[in-house]
A and B are shown apart, each in its own frame.
Chain A
Amino acid sequence: MATSISAQERVSAGPAKRPRRIHWIAYLLVAPYVIYNLVFWVYPFVWGLIIAFQEWNIVSPRKEWVGLGNFQQVVTNSQFWNALWVTAKFWIVFLPAVTVASLLLALMLQRVSHFRGFYIAAYLASYTMAGVAYSVVFMLLLSGNGLINTWIWKLFHVRVPWFTDPRLAMISIAMVVVWKFVGYYGLIFLAGLNAIPRELYDAAAVDGANAWQRFLHITIPLLNPSFTVVFVFATILSYGIFTEPYLITGGGPLGSTQTFMLLIYQKTFENLEAGLGSAMAISMAALSFASTGVVRRLIEREVAL
């Protein structure tokens, strides 16, 4: 029976096309993915949209439609705008710092011929450390009487309030995240650098361009795809910071590290305001989308190599 079907198919499909008798099995193969994602992706997504228009404390069966009430609360909630400010502070420190550091790393890695594997591993190891693990490590290392402050005290007779000064706390967290991501973004830049043809540099050198001019007029513009990827990754990441402030500062001091994720976590799972939490999550996702859109718009260029 199988042969008769395949023979039929072959005739209808013509000699140029492959036998098309196997269509049905594709549905079987994609079924687990599709069914799982209908239940645990599409359904929660729709439900999340609905909850955002309801007032509900999770535990009681009573739900009340409140229209745009939750979103009104989001817009007038000072904690929400504070979270946006915290995210902006993080972004303003994190993005330039991580970009410069990982680009420098990539430029240096490109020039070394020995121990390259070791160097890449050394800078990438931080990316593999669990968020909870390095958060606790930095919390102790940078605490008021921690080792780093002990050393700084010996040298300068001051102590740096890394996580206890409201002006400094989010910046310190941003630096910790820079530590985590330099190797990762460095590899993205390294791949971008390796994709730039050497002849361009040789030709420019013949024309009398010095190293700085070559960097400015060849490397930077041709590295645009890598810049775009790193900027977009860094922007998305800025909205998703949770583990570090949860463990190190708990959102303080004075709300200076209360990120969106921390705020949504507290509203939903500590205060049990599921509707407000959902409305905040949707608003945050919209802001994140808009920010990445703007970043892309501002820096992405067509590059022809």
Chain B
Amino acid sequence: MIGSLVRSRKNRRHLTSVAIYAVLTAGALFWLFPFVWMFLASIKPTEEIYTRFWPTRLTLEHYRLVLQGGVALQRPFLRAFFNTLFVASVQTAAIVFIGAITGYALGRLEFRARDALFNAILYQMIFPGILFLIPTFLLVLRLNLINTYAGMIVRFLTDATGVFLFTQFFKTIPQDLIDAARMDGAGEFTIIWRIMIPLSASVTAFVAIFNFMARWDEFLWNLIVVRDYDLMTLPVLLAVFTKGEYGDYPGAQMAAATILTLPILLLFMLFRRYFEEGIVTTGLKG
């Protein structure tokens, strides 16, 4: 009797587990559906975008339109791709570099005003960005940086959350390593690059990936700062293009959206572990 009870329990657990896999798989397909649809829409004939999921034939016409320009429409998408890459890379490099040296000073060195500075950075993390949008725009206007790369870049050169993460993580690295390096005559910069960063690979990777993603994705700021098509980043060009003369070219829109999505998706798949760890850490610190 006990045997059959155990067996029925086991069966029920088995059934529950099958159900969970089924629900998770169905949900995952549902969640990935927009990606798949976007990609398929970018390689199928226009008339099938609204009516069919699977294309009857494949075409590269939308990519050709986006990358080479049509007869009447010439938009520099390839250039926009490199604009985005350039702006986001410079910003990410600055955020990681400044974040690491600031985090090192805050986490490992003693100086006056250290606690005050750390508290100020904690406050920065919870300040709504909207408070800075208009005055920073006016500042950039006054600096004559409207419609320039510098104008886009200068808005995001540090990240308070990144500094916080570096500070917290650098605190956990054994002092002996630092002392030994100093004994060998290493300067502070050598210690940061040769010891702190390599031993904090997961935090560094997270700060870099997360910020690169956010900068790649940046829309509002780049929208208000840049007017020339040649300077626009991908999100801005795609938005202007969708709301403007390419409104009737859904295939071209999906080709551009795919170009905008793929690099980050690739980055995400390569560094998924750091990404997930980072979300959990920031979530816990909240």
Contacts and interface: CB of A to CB of B under 8 A. Distances in A.
A109 B20 CA distance: 9
Contacts of B135: 43-45, 47-48, 51, 278
**Interface size bucket, B side?**
35 or more
B37 A147 contact: yes
B163 A33 contact: yes
Interface string B241-285: 011000000100110010011001101110010011001100110
A29 B131 CA distance: 28
Contacts of B17: 111-112
A170 to B, nearest CB: 19
Contacts of A201: none
A146 B242 CA distance: 16
Contact of B280 (A131, A187, A277): A187
A20 B260 contact: no
- Most chain A beta-carbon neighbours within 10 Å: one of B41, B124, B128, B265: B128
Nearest to B213: A128
Interface string A132-149: 111011111101011100
A236 B280 CA distance: 18
Contacts of A118: 28
A219 interface: no
B114 A26 contact: yes
Interface string A270-305: 000010011001101100110000000000000000
Contact of B28 (A44, A123, A140): A123
Given A36-B158, A131-B235, A188-B283, A29 B37 contact: no
B227 to A, nearest CB: 12
B35 A51 contact: no
A261 interface: yes
B128 A236 contact: yes
B60 interface: no
Interface residues of A, number: 96
A265 to B, nearest CB: 7
Q: For the complex, would chain B's binding face be called helix, strand, loop or mixed by DSSP majority?
A: helix
A289 B101 CA distance: 31
Contacts of B49: 140, 147
Interface string B199-223: 0000000000000010011011000
Contact of B35 (A129, A182, A183, A288): A129
Contact of A141 (B37, B128, B129, B272): B37
B48 to A, nearest CB: 10
Interface stretch (A72-80, A89-97, A155-163, A225-233): A225-233
B27 interface: yes
B254 A140 contact: yes
A240 B130 contact: yes
A229 B283 contact: yes
Contact of A40 (B106, B131, B136, B219): B136
A208 interface: no
Contacts of B193: none
Given A30-B105, A132-B219, A147-B37, A123 B27 contact: yes
B134 interface: yes
Contacts of A184: 279
A130 to B, nearest CB: 4
A51 B139 CA distance: 12
A22 interface: yes
B23 A278 contact: no
A147 B53 contact: yes
B3 interface: no
Given A112-B24, A147-B49, 6 more contacts: A29-B109, A32-B158, A123-B31, A133-B260, A133-B261, A264-B130
20 contacts: A22-B109, A25-B188, A26-B109, A26-B110, A30-B102, A36-B157, A44-B138, A109-B24, A112-B24, A120-B276, A125-B31, A133-B260, A137-B37, A137-B257, A140-B49, A147-B51, A187-B283, A188-B284, A232-B286, A246-B239
Interface of B: 16-17, 20-21, 23-24, 27-28, 31-32, 34-35, 37-38, 41, 49-53, 98-99, 101-102, 104-106, 109-112, 114, 117, 124, 128-139, 141, 154-155, 157-158, 163, 175, 188, 213, 216-217, 219-220, 224, 234-236, 238-239, 242-243, 250, 253-254, 257, 260-261, 264-265, 267-269, 272, 275-276, 279-280, 283-284, 286
Shortest beta-carbon contacts, A-B, top 4: A44-B135, A188-B283, A122-B28, A26-B111
